[in-house]
Amino acid sequence: MGNRREGYVLLGVNVLVYGYIPSAWRSPLLDARDFVEPAYWERIGRLAERATLDAVFLADALGLGDPAYDANPIRLDPTVLWAHVARATERVGLLATASTTFNDPVELASRILTLDHISGGRAGWNLVTTRDNRSAANFGLPNIVARTERYERAAEFADLTRQLWTAAETGQTVRFHGSHFDYEGDFVAPASPQGRPVLFQAGGSPVGRDIAARYADGVFAAEITQETAREHYRLVKSAAAGHGRRAGEVKILPGLLLTLGSTEEEARRRVDELYDTSPSWYSAAWLTHAIGVDVTTLELDEPFPDEVINGPVSETFQGSIGFRESILEQIRQTRPTVREYLRQTRYSGSGHGGFVGTPEQLVDRIEQWYLAGACDGFNLQPDILVDSLEVIADEVIPRLRARGLYRHEYETTTLRGHLQAAEPRVAPALQAL
């Protein structure tokens, strides 16, 4: 397949502590306490930079995760970790996740701007809202606030934060009067080395898409099928244009869960072994949390009932709307039995898409989605980080370069520069915008 898009693929890696599979910590390549060792994080940063990846993402949570469905229940503060990794790297972007639900926009704007200076213009913020009662309890609340209110606050938070970063560069007074935040005054800080730190938004709900279209430089999307990915891509880019922005200003990077092997058989054997050393109930507990339906009450050898795959979202549902819709759309299209789908998640992903195969096949997948106008790149999520990043650097990236899909070296020094340098003039699906 020839390259019909100018520019090149963007690639990040989502650093899920040890990897996205629950048993990743059992790898002989790792120690159980590596996640608190500075040398481990330095190694991840250097491997990502050896692969010339555009950015590393690090998730955060404001409470301990539930190991019943969370492969990485313990998180460390991303801005602190990335400040350390910034010293060990020179070019790779550093994206820190932070919630708009329990942070303050002025403090967070300052914190991300500090990371931006320490890293020489490589910092970014991955915007999320907090949706679990466990985190709410840590802030003295009995329950998390309603989804609508969370996203209203998130939109104001993003708007004010961007204005504060702009004020650091221009010296202009910020006048912001909203329902959740009221700020009038200066924001005295050195200007960002990249003009303004990069802002990513994570998620695919309608209100999340609107925040992305208005304020974000990129979207960490959850997509399983190419058809729904193309529609999400079109919706966000069209909405950005509707807000007076260029469609290319917002980059779309779906997550992609990876298991790689020298042959497809080897990759499948690897993923089976990794899952077989995880608790047998993990997949069912994870799916229950992801779609808001108790999967253990369903008949394993029957298709998912229509009321499950086409039913409304429960008012008590606390999961990701984007993940939920992505999963249910895949089930609608393939119509598996419950047992088949639980097994299938080993190979085809979760709320994010999944890939099990060879480096060459992965490059095929990336090329197909990119040229089809389904994404601007991917946020890769390896099963085990340390050895998978080596394979990405040594076997995946050279194949992408050979097809003209990826740059041969870093061309810019800032994260914003990486995003801009990759931008095609016009994506095929957006020529009419």
From 79, 157, 167, select the one nearest 123 (Cα to Cα).
Answer: 79
Q: How many C-beta atoms lie closer than 10 Å to residue 266's C-beta?
A: 15
210 is in an annotated binding site: no
Distances from the Cα of 411 to the Cα of 10, 91, 141, 199, 403, angstroms: 13, 9, 47, 21, 18
CA-CA distance, 263 to 331, in Å (whole number)?
28
Bridge partners, residue 253, by sequence = 220
Is 263 part of any known ligand binding site?
A: no
Q: 151 a known binding residue?
A: yes
State the alpha helices, DSSP H only, in 25-104. 38-50, 78-88
Which of 323, 205, 325, 313 minimizes the C-alpha distance to 257?
Answer: 323
Residue 60 assigned as binding residue: yes
Which structure tokens are listed for 315?
A: 């008012």
> Which amino acid belongs to residue 211?
I
Q: How far is the CA of 340 from the CAs of 225, 286, 343, in angstroms?
A: 18, 15, 5
Which residues carry a binding-site annotation for FMN? 60, 97, 151, 205
Which residues carry a binding-site annotation? 60, 97, 151, 205
